[in-house]
Amino acid sequence: MLALKNKSLFAVFYLFLTLNLSVASAQEETAKQVVEEFQSELITVMKQGKELGFKGRYDKLSTAIVKSHDLTKIARVVVGKEWGKLSGEQQQKLVDVFSQLSIAAYAYNFKAFSGESFKFGSEEETTRGGAVIHTTLLIPTDKDVKFDYMLKKKGDSWKIINIIANGVSDLALKRSEYTSILERDGFDALITKINDKTDHYAKQ
């Protein structure tokens, strides 16, 4: 009788565990959903762009960008091998100012709405377990822009680690610029350069 009771309890526990794992799996966002949610927020902010002003756009996009982008990984990649030469304090400082620049750039570039919309193209897996989401920003008053989002898993979540716009990698551009500044002029000069760019966006 005791053995039967133990088996019954085990069965209930196993069923409970299985159901919870299923719910967690169902709630986990796919790479495509991460991109689409981020793009939806961009369009929303664009529609409110003039009313919000730069600071309002910055504040609204901050949460969306931190949620969808792996800003720490991006900051590490853009300085390449120089990352390992930085102290822990310097690494954190770089992540902080780079994150501010990233948010400011979005707040500047997506500041007004004139009928734009994002269109999903396709999705593919990379050889290293990542994903690439191909989309197009449809612009009624100008040429469309193709955006390819590269994502990797961080824990249980998909995170954007690079964006390629019309074939040009944002990560590659920044890496070329930032590593040269770091090697030639040092860490403080790089931080000043990044902060200057952030200030420039804020004043436009």
Does the pLDDT at position 25 exceed 90? no
Does the pLDDT at position 27 exceed 70? no
Cα–Cα distances (Å) from 99 to 13, 61, 144, 167, 194, in that order, read 44, 12, 27, 23, 10
pLDDT (mean) for 48-69: 96
186 backbone dihedrals φ, ψ, rounded to 5°: 100, 175
Domain range annotation of the chain: 29-203
CA distance 126 to 77: 18
For domain 29-203, give the CATH number.
3.10.450.710
- Per-residue pLDDT band at 28 (split at 50, 70, 90): confident
> CA quadruple 45, 49, 52, 53: dihedral positive or negative?
positive
Tens digits of per-residue pLDDT, 117-137?
A: 999 999 999 988 999 999 999
Does the pLDDT at position 23 exceed 80? no
Q: How high is the mean pLDDT of the chain?
A: 89
- In this predicted structure, what is the pLDDT of residue 8? 54
Q: What are the residues whose beta carbons fall under 8 Å from the beta carbon of 56, sequence distance 6 or more?
A: 48
- In this predicted structure, what is the pLDDT of residue 22? 41
- In this predicted structure, what is the pLDDT of residue 88? 97
- In this predicted structure, what is the pLDDT of residue 19? 43
